[in-house]
Structure 1
Amino acid sequence: MRWILRSLSEALTFWLPLSCAGCGAADVSLCEGCRLALAPRIHRRSVSSGVVVTAALVFDGVAARTIRALKEEGRTSLARALGPALAVAVRAAVGAHGVRPVVRITAVPSSRAAFRRRGHRPVELLVRASGLRSERLLRVARTPRDQRGLGRIERRANVAGALEARPIGGGVVVVVDDVVTTGATLVEAERALRAAGADHVVVVALAHTPRRDGSAEEPQGNPR
């Protein structure tokens, strides 16, 4: 049986060769060096009055390439390598806010078009890979236009009212996204959850875009 599985693996490698998502090294999904590069380094960014995002990684280099491969190339197995960093960010965010143990976790939702294109919901996948359980408390009420190329104020206006939440009935909710740039989507998610009755909303992202020359870097790839 083992030799059959090994033969099948070798055949798949021949026809569908693997390369490291982080550096392109052959015959490995993610090399050891790139795995080490995904070690979390907690960063907090204020994106609005009263809304602080806690992130585990910088959306650059290995982390950016790995997240893009997960989202846009369908390499969903990479979630297992990214999940531990997200788990650290959630714990750090909850601890920083001094709230009681998390009651509910929810992911920023994908649009229907993005789900049809990808066949999966990246943020929910990342939450599961982190060992946490999420609920679908948020839904897309209207699809905003592509955020790329928009400034901070334009992004806020673009996503305003884009999300709705199921009735919460109090308690603490952690809302998770994959990448935070200006934070407009997470601010909208926080608003929708509070409007639905959440007493406290903790905001987390797997990665944050580095600020260069006073601006935020745009993550490449298709919109949510």
Structure 2
Amino acid sequence: MDAVRSALAEALSLFFPADCAGCGELDVALCSACRSALHPRPRSRTLAGGLEVHSGLAFEGVAARVVRALKEDGRTGLARSLAPALGAAAAAAHPGSVIAVPVPTSRAAMRRRGYRVVDLIAQHAGLRVESLLVPSRASADQRELGRDARRRNVVGTMRARDAAGRRILVVDDVVTTGATLDEAIRVLRAEGAEVVGAAAVAAVPLHYPARVNAF
């Protein structure tokens, strides 16, 4: 049912294009200049738990506006344009065949949107997606919280199912402090999964190291 809703929303966005999600140019869903701005430039940094996370874009400018339009404005057609960034990050994180497990969408966000953002982008990126993480409790809004408060806030917000013995790449849309990814990795490992890497569409530049991987 989720896939049907996402497909319908994407089809409608093609027939009734909004202004460019990246710059506001009229009557085009995403202009050529903004498409170019979404060309992947994979970067990496190390999470608090020790695992490296790779991201395809910096979460700023055009990329940030396009991600927000997908997440908050129901513009599901933009998932195709963000998919190369996640695909590049996933390839940098683990070049072999692996199961991509999205960080789960909260129940409140799912009710509001009707689709799962990370799953949608990962599917367009051609990743083998399995929803082995599910939400277990609600959390406070992370946006106003500091690093330590974010980590406390996400503890116990998700649980794993059917994860034992699986080789997993954890995927998310945006990395800020990495608290949510760290919790996802902890939960999966506690259930016996082998987490081989982490990847995201974009990461907040404040948290980047100086290293940038060529693509």
TM-score normalised per structure 2: 0.86
How far is 1:64 from its partner? 0.3
2:187 to 192, 212, 218: 192
Higher relative contact order (CA 8 A, sep 6+): 2
8 Å Cα contact 1:105-1:134 kept in structure 2: yes
Amino acid at match of 2:120: L
- The residue aligned with 2:79 is 79
Counterparts of residues 43-62 of structure 1 (less than 5 Å) = 43-62=43-62
1:174 to 146, 158, 169: 169
SS in 2 for 1:211: helix
2:144 match: secondary structure: coil
Q: Distance in 2 between matches of 1:141 and 1:182?
A: 21
Equivalent residue, structure 2, for 1:65: 65
Quick one: which amino acid aligns to residue 25 of structure 1?
E
Structure-2 separation of matches of 1:124 and 1:49: 24
State the one-letter code of the partner of 2:146.
G
Amino acid in structure 2 at the alignment position of 1:55: S
Alignment partners' CA distance in 1, 2:182 and 2:80: 27
State the alpha-carbon separation in 2 of the partners of residues 211 and 44 from structure 1: 13
Query: Mean alpha-carbon deviation: is it higher for 179-188 or for 166-175?
Result: 166-175
Q: How far did 1:169 drift?
A: 2.5
Q: 1:112-156, CA deviations, whole angstroms, 9 ceiling, x for partnerless residues?
A: 110110111100000011012211100111111111111111110
Structure 1 residue 53: Cα displacement: 1.1
Counterpart-to-counterpart distance in 1, 2:160 and 2:185? 10
**Quick one: which of 159, 162, 166 aligns to 1:164?**
159
| Post-superposition offset of 1:167 | 3.0
Residue 16 of structure 1, CA deviation: 5.5
Runs (5+) with no aligned partner, structure 1: 1-11, 96-100, 215-224
Q: CA deviation at 1:170?
A: 1.6
Q: Per the alignment, in what secondary structure is the counterpart of residue 136 of structure 1?
A: coil
Matching of residues 111-150 of structure 1 within 5 Å: 111-150=106-145
Structure of greater Rg: 1
Match of 1:152 in 2: 147
Normalising by the residue count of structure 1, what TM-score does the alignment of the two structures yield?
A: 0.83
How many pairs are equivalent?
A: 196
Q: Distance in 1 between matches of 2:97 and 2:171?
A: 13
RMSD: 2.0
Retained in 2: the 8 A contact 1:194–1:201? no
- Letter of the structure 1 residue corresponding to residue 40 of structure 2: P
